[in-house]
Chains A and B, each alone.
Chain A
Amino acid sequence: GAGVSQSPRYKVAKRGQDVALRCDPISGHVSLFWYQQALGQGPEFLTYFQNEAQLDKSGLPSDRFFAERPEGSVSTLKIQRTQQEDSAVYLCASSPGPRETQYFGPGTRLLVL
């Protein structure tokens, strides 16, 4: 595919359940970002990878959030012991390199009951 893909597109979780969200960036893109978008708000930065290195995780809201990109391509955002306040759209974006245009995926809509 030509664009950023994310899976699943929708996820319903019971409070306390662990979830894993996947991002497939555009092939060859070095930089990968995760953002969280609450209902009616703009996206907020969570974390940034350059290849496999996680260079900034300052936006992760708690230690229940964990992201990885072990081979420098696909990335997974994991949320442990989900809470209702984790309900949001999780967006992944990739760019060819630092300071270049970020291309967004369609997002994963997470609802925690």
Chain B
Amino acid sequence: GQQLNQSPQSMFIQEGEDVSMNCTSSSIFNTWLWYKQDPGEGPVLLIALYKAGELTSNGRLTAQFGITRKDSFLNISASIPSDVGIYFCAGQIIQGAQKLVFGQGTGLTINP
């Protein structure tokens, strides 16, 4: 099935470091979303982006919707242990079912 290209696949960082991950697609999306998934749980929405070029922050998280509408990035500043998990980007087309198309995920591990 269609998936977005998300990188890096995994990250191993020290507590307090900044993190950056991105997502690209060959298709245009109207909405970009970033989710976090903890083990044994469903994805939880972190940030939603609705306009090309939009830059949005949620606490230590910042995400941008690419101008071409085919990419997005997520930055996490000053990482803390609870940031550990798998981060997924998702694109959404507002016509039709509004289904989400997900990336493969970025696994984040933090060394204290």
Binding site for B on A (CB under 8 A): 4, 31, 33, 35, 40-45, 48, 55-56, 58-59, 91, 93, 95, 98-99, 101-107
Contacts and interface: CB of A to CB of B under 8 A. Distances in A.
Given A42-B3, A44-B3, 19 more contacts: A31-B98, A33-B99, A40-B104, A41-B3, A41-B104, A41-B105, A42-B90, A42-B103, A42-B105, A43-B43, A44-B1, A45-B97, A45-B101, A48-B97, A59-B99, A95-B98, A106-B40, A106-B41, A106-B42
Given A104-B44, A107-B42, A42 B88 contact: yes
B92 to A, nearest CB: 8
A67 to B, nearest CB: 13
Interface residues of B, number: 25
7 contacts: A42-B90, A43-B43, A43-B102, A44-B3, A104-B43, A106-B41, A107-B41
Contacts, number: 65
B45 interface: yes
Interface of B: 1, 3-4, 6, 35, 40-45, 48, 88, 90, 94, 96-105
Nearest to B35: A104
Given A55-B97, A56-B97, A101-B48, A42 B42 contact: no
A87 to B, nearest CB: 16
Nearest to A9: B40
Nearest to B96: A56
A32 B102 CA distance: 17
Given A42-B104, A106-B40, A99 B94 contact: yes
A113 B90 CA distance: 31
A57 to B, nearest CB: 9
Contacts of A106: 40-42
